[in-house]
Structures are given as structure tokens and as C-alpha cells.
Structure 1
Amino acid sequence: MLNHRPTEASQLAMKIVFMKHLTALLFAALLANPAMAQATEFRCLVSIDATTPIRLQFDFPQSERAHAAVRYQRGSKPIPLRALKTSSVEMTPGRPFEFTTIWQEPGKNGGTYTVATQGALINEFTYLRARDKKTFRFEEDMGAMETSRCKWGK
């Protein structure tokens, strides 16, 4: 009786073929489900210096031309934001740059959000309220993260 054990080369070839098929299936699943293909990157945040905590969801734009949006826990709908200014700085050589973007709410009394990110990290998130120039600082609220939006307890 012959012993047909696959060689290392044939095992590697089978793994490559399997990975190609798996990648194709995953890509097909994304195309078949537009909600997954257009998933929004978002963060849940909570104020760290307000008397009563303010909770919001910040939706990052998915392209350079797209707008960001913010949705408050007690708000009725997302507020579109447009980028006013973006700057970057190399904090540590070889590490991702830190990008800071100032976002403007619509209208003459719209406040501004300053968001500093480095890779997936939010290093700073503040809101400057236009009517009284009060600044609110926020930090991530990891407990509110769900698959496609923030969920806060009542």
C-alpha cells in the first residue's frame, strides 16, 4: 500500500487556494450586503467635565468629500459637520501621524468640534459651544459601543 502524504509545497499550495477562495467569499458577502460595505466608522463619547454627562456618537467620514456627523444621546437626528481645517504632526518617528480636524456645525451659531486622532486612537475630542464659548471635553465611552451605533442606558 502506498503512503500518499502531501509534501510541504503541496500543503502550502492548498492553503493558498483556500485563502483565495475565502477572500473571494468575504468580498462577495460585502457586495451582497450594502449595509456592511458602507459601514460607518464611529466612536461613542462622554463628557468628562460637564455637571450632567453629555453622550454623543461621532461618525467619521468614509471619504475625503464626505461629511462627519454627530448624534447626541437625547438628540432627534444626526447633525452634519463640515471640515474647516485639518493639520498633522509626526509625534514619534515611525508611528502614525496625529491628525487634528476642526469640524463646524451648520448655521451661524454652530459650534465646533476638535478631533485629534492617531491611528485608531482619539487623543483629544472637544466641543466649543458657539453661544457662550464654553468648551466641553470628551473621552471614549467603550461601554456604549455596539455594532453599528452607540447604545446608552436610559
Structure 2
Amino acid sequence: MKKLWMLLLLAFPLIAHSEVKTEINCFKAREGKDIKFEFRTYYDPAAKWSGAAIKYSTSKESIPLAHKSTEHEELSNGRPYQYTTTWVEVIGGAVTGEYVMVSQGGRIDDMFYTNAKSKKRYGFEHDPLVESSPETGCQW
């Protein structure tokens, strides 16, 4: 039932608006661990709606994320703004962690995950060379 609800929730904006854009980015752990995940974001600029989900390479299920905040700053004149976007991980109706992505222009500089319980923080790097598509996700 949960899967059906999530599918309907994600599909509804696609039916209601054809403006929804999907972006997929592939990440791997920096600490030498074999942890990989795909980060999907969904945007509908007309409805001012966005959503996201994380899917680890070892999992069949995606984890929904809720947008918490986006901050921007100008690091130097004439350069693109640096954006820091925070997404909250929600499992079983409870906040279990937080993802923070730092980007500038078309480049993703940092991605961090902090576990809500242990407060342990993990660093990930964007891997733009991994093939991906909305239909297949990251092809590890």
C-alpha cells in the first residue's frame, strides 16, 4: 500500500502538469567505503513544487526526502552563486537523517548525510561519469 501511495504521489504531478523535470545525480562515498546512491529531484516550476528521493545501489526501495531549505551566497563577483540545499530523510513517518548538497553553477561540490540518531556524518562525491536516466537510474 505504501508503494502504491508513493507512486501515486510522485505520478500525480506528472499527470497534472507536463512541466515536471527529473534530474538524477550519482554519488559514491568519499571514505573509501563502497556506498553508492542515486539522488533524484523532481521540479515543477509552474506549480512551485519540488520533491526528491534517494536510492542506494544495494536497495530496491527509494527513500523519500522533504525539502528543508536552500541558501545561496555569492563567493566572488561575476561567478555563479553557491547553493546549499538541505533535504530531510523520512522513513516510517520519522525523520531519520539529513542530506546537504553544495553546488555552484552546474557542478556539485559536496554531498553530506547526517544520521539523525547517531549524528554521524558521511561525505559523498558526485560521479558525473556514471550513466543514468529516469527509467534506469544510475548504472553502477
Give the TM interval when normalised to the shorter protein.
0.7 to 0.9
SS in 2 for 1:77: coil
RMSD: 2.0
Superposition misfits of 4+ residues, deviation over 3 angstroms = none
Determine the structure 1 residue equivalent to 2:5. Answer: none
Rounded Cα–Cα distance in structure 1 between residues aligned with 2:118 and 2:73? 30
Q: Offset of 1:117 from its aligned partner?
A: 1.2
Determine the structure 1 residue equivalent to 2:35. Answer: 54
Rounded Cα–Cα distance in structure 2 between residues aligned with 1:60 and 1:145? 16
SS in 1 for 2:22: coil
- The structure that is strand-richer by fraction is 2
Matches within 5 A, 1:1-154: 38=20, 40-49=22-31, 52-63=33-44, 64-106=48-90, 107-148=93-134, 149-152=137-140
- The TM-score, its normalising length taken from structure 2, stands at 0.73
- The structure that is helix-richer by fraction is 1
State the identity as a percent: 30
Structure ID, larger Rg: 1
Rounded Cα–Cα distance in structure 2 between residues aligned with 1:140 and 1:96? 19
Q: Offset of 1:141 from its aligned partner?
A: 2.0
8 A Cα contact 2:25 2:40, kept in partner? yes
Structure 2: runs of 5+ lacking an equivalent: 1-18
Rounded Cα–Cα distance in structure 1 between residues aligned with 2:77 and 2:53? 32
- The TM-score, its normalising length taken from structure 1, stands at 0.67
Rounded Cα–Cα distance in structure 1 between residues aligned with 2:73 and 2:39? 22
Q: Which structure is higher in RCO with an 8 Å CA cutoff and minimum separation 6?
A: 2
Q: Offset of 1:45 from its aligned partner?
A: 0.3
